[in-house]
Each structure stands twice: as structure tokens, then as C-alpha cells.
Amino acid sequence: MKLFSPLRLLVGPLLLLLSGAGQAQMPAAPTPIFAGVPQENVALAAPEFKLFDQKFYDNQLFLLGESHGVARPQELDFALLKHLNQRAGVRTYVAEVDCAKAYYLNEYLRTGQDSTLRLVFRSWVAGTIQWGNQEFFTKVQRIRALNQTLPAARRIRFIGLDEIQDLPLAADYAQTLLGTRPVPAPLRASLDSVLTLLRRADVGTLAVVGQRAARLLAAQAVRYRQALGSATYDNLALLLGNIFRPAGFGREDMLVANFEVQYQTQQLAHEKLYGLWGLAHVLQSSIQGNFRSMAARLGQGVPLRGKVVSVLCVFSGCQMLYPTAGLPTPWQMAGQPYSVTDKFNHDGPLSVLTGLSELKQRTAPGSTTLFRLNAPEAATTRQPIEVRYAPGVPAGQQIQFSAALPAAAYVQYLVLVRDSGPVQALTPPAAGQTAGK
């Protein structure tokens, strides 16, 4: 369930909009919801983040929400990560990637081999997914460069929480975990079947075979942990647990389950954690249908209760790189895998965040501005927030915030991004190009 962000299957509803159904309407008399909200212009080359107080840094999990396909959040992500590393000792990046991609991201950070980093981006590029972009690729390179300046104890590493995103890469990862260890039978035969199906991307059979291997591994945990070593056992168990999803187990359930497992196995109890996520994942209170995102579940449960803080990017005048096939024909760049569009800003045409016009009056074109919604004097600690949608946008693609909750119950900080360009699609290296550093 991806909410409050562009989705790839909106073609039908968007065509309704284009045929005259209208645009999201601005309220006639906007509520001064952002009255008393302090703000800070963020110069991304040298940000100060003066709005963050000690209570902010006392949190354990810091989340930044974005709309995939806009360029500036990638810059903000690196700036905030670097700041939190320096100010709060954050070194663990909990990422919207799977455990296999996280492994190869860490291998890149260790070796600097761009060919390793390209393995992470391979499925995104092949699948025309916005994450396969040059700005993200460059950001990881910048993280490695930052690591080279840091003592070993403060160097950044990735932990992946998402479902498996590249089945053949997951097979390579599993084979790397096992190495040359003699794996006892019958686990060896079961794992061989899993690896074969992963490499074939045989989804139909994989779930059953993967579930069988996961149960076998758990049933003889003491024996296999001793044979494989604790770290390999834990990583393999996590991977196998992500191959199948039980009935009724949604994506947010999987993200939280993966977090809980890695919180234990990676011994994260005393670690500060940070990550950039699609903006729906960082909302900390329930929306319509009592739906709770990853941040809401983690922030309201053990062990992170009251220790999660969310910073949400909203957009005005921005351009987004979007898969062409997911757009209606009038918005498409014909013959291109991606198109650039300005239709997904939060001041229209598809959605309007109440009060955004107020924030625009307080900021300059091209700016990046941080707002503290949970400041004691801010109206956002008392007043609800609302998003209005154009006719034809399906209810399942909308976010309806509770009128009984203030805006600060959902996110504590807002970043208004104005006039950002789109990310650039990452292209495969040319034939014969050196794949190394």
C-alpha cells in the first residue's frame, strides 16, 4: 500500500482527470495550520540544522520521507546522514532495500568497486524503477568517501529491511554466505533447490521451497547454527524468511518483522539508526482504515516506543522522473523509458496539502526549508492536517489524516522542497567499459 506518493498504475484515473474531471481544489479559506511553526533555510552544501533540539537527537530512529524521482531529497539525505553521524553518532542506515542489496552496498563501501555497486542497481535499471538513478548511485559513492574520513567505529553501514528485490542477486548473496562451509544434509539439498529457483526467478515454486528450507533451518537451529556459525545462520534465516509472505502479511508487516529480527541479530539496541524512505512509510499515526505504516508501528511498539522522529519532504514546482508506462499518454515522453513530469507536487494538480500556500509565502523559489511542527508554540501541535485530491484519484491511492490528531502526530518536521529537478536515469556501462573503480 503506497500512499501519498505517485503510483505506477494510475493511468485510468489520470485519464479521467485529463478528460475534464478537474483538479484538486484549494480550500476557499486556508486554515493557518502552520502558524507559529519555526523554520530554517537549509543550505545543502553546509547545512546547520539549528531547528533540531536535544529532544530530537535523543531519538533512536531518524526517518526522512521522500517522493521517489525528485533529485534534491538525495542531497538532503546525504546532508542529514552526515550531520547525524557527526552529531549523534549514527552509523547504521536502515534502507528501503533487501538484505542482499544491503550486503552488496556494504561490500562497495568496503572495496570501492563500482561494479559491486552496479549489482545493487541492476534490477532497478532493468525494471525501469525510479531507484535506478544517478543521484542515488552518486550518493552511495559520497557515503564511501565520507567513510574514508571517519574512524572505523563511526563508519556508515547499510541494513536492508525490504522484501527481496532481485532474486538472482539474492542467490549470489546466499552462496556467498555459505562459502565453502560443509552444509549438513538435508539442509544442503534444500538450499540448493532454493538457489536454483532464485536464479531462474521461478516465483511460482520458490515460495513453497523457500518456506520448507526456512522451517528446516529453524527446526534444527542448534545444529545448523553450530555448523554455519551464528552470523551466517542469522543472515540465511532472514533471507529465507523473505522468500515467502504468509497470507494477509502486507509489506509494512514485512518491513517491521525484518526490523525486529535485525534489531536483535545485529545488536542494534544501543545504535542510532537513520534511513530515507518513501514518504508513506514515515507517518507515525494511523490513517484511514486504521492503516499504520512502518514508522507508526515501530514508534508505538517495543523497543522504540517514543524514540522515532520523522522528517517529511513535500514538494512545490518540482520535477520527477517517472516510468513512462505509468503515465497517461499526454504526459509521456514518447519512446523513452522514463518521462519527466511536474504533476505530483503537493500544491496540485493531483493533490493539495492544506496550508502549503502559506509555507510558499514564507520561502523563496528554489529553496529547501525545514519546519519544526512539534515546536511548543506551533499550531501544528493542535490542528489537524489535510490533503485534498483531484476527482478521479482512487481512494486507495489517497491518505486521509485523522481530524482528531494534530499534524505533529504524523511527522515532527517538514521540509518544503521548491523547484527541484528530477533525478537522472542510471544507464548501464557501455560495452567494454571497465567495471572496476
Residue 32: predicted pLDDT:
87
Q: Could you tell me the mean pLDDT of each successive run of 10 residues in the chain, 437 residues long?
A: 43 42 54 92 97 98 97 98 98 98 98 98 96 98 98 98 97 96 94 97 92 96 96 98 90 97 97 97 95 97 97 98 95 96 96 96 98 97 96 90 97 98 90 52
pTM greater than 0.85 (yes/no) = yes
Strands (E) across 51-166 are located at 61-66, 92-95, 157-160
CA distances from 43 to 48, 57, 350 (A): 8, 20, 29
Max CA pair span of the chain: 71
What's CA 341's distance to the chain center, in Å?
21
| Single-letter residue type at 120 | V
Residue 210: predicted pLDDT:
95
Within 10 Å of residue 106's Cβ, how many Cβ atoms? Answer: 17
3-class DSSP state of 407: helix
Q: Are strands 338-341 and 157-160 parallel, antiparallel or unpaired?
A: unpaired
Q: Is the peptide bond before 384 cis (omega within 30 degrees of 0)?
A: no
Instruction: Tell me how far apart the alpha carbons of residues 243 and 146 are, in angstroms, rounded to a whole number.
Output: 34
For residue 299 the three cell numbers come to 514508534
Residue 4: predicted pLDDT:
45
Q: Are strands 92-95 and 273-278 parallel, antiparallel or unpaired?
A: parallel
pLDDT, tens only, 187-196:
999 999 999 9
For residue 253 the three cell numbers come to 508487516
Instruction: Tell me how far apart the alpha carbons of residues 194 and 211 are, in angstroms, rounded to a whole number.
Output: 10
Residue 90: predicted pLDDT:
98
Closest CA to 346 of 104, 2, 4: 4
Q: Are strands 61-66 and 273-278 parallel, antiparallel or unpaired?
A: parallel
What lies within 8 Å, CB to CB, of 385 at 6+ separation is 33, 353, 354, 355, 401, 406, 407, 410
Instruction: Tell me how far apart the alpha carbons of residues 169 and 179 are, in angstroms, rounded to a whole number.
Output: 15
Instruction: Tell me how far apart the alpha carbons of residues 14 and 22 are, in angstroms, rounded to a whole number.
Output: 10
Instruction: Tell me how far apart the alpha carbons of residues 104 and 110 are, in angstroms, rounded to a whole number.
Output: 10
Q: Which residues pair with 291 in a beta bridge?
A: 287
Is the dihedral angle over the CA atoms 317, 321, 324, 327 positive or is it negative?
Answer: negative
Instruction: Tell me how far apart the alpha carbons of residues 84 and 293 are, in angstroms, rounded to a whole number.
Output: 23
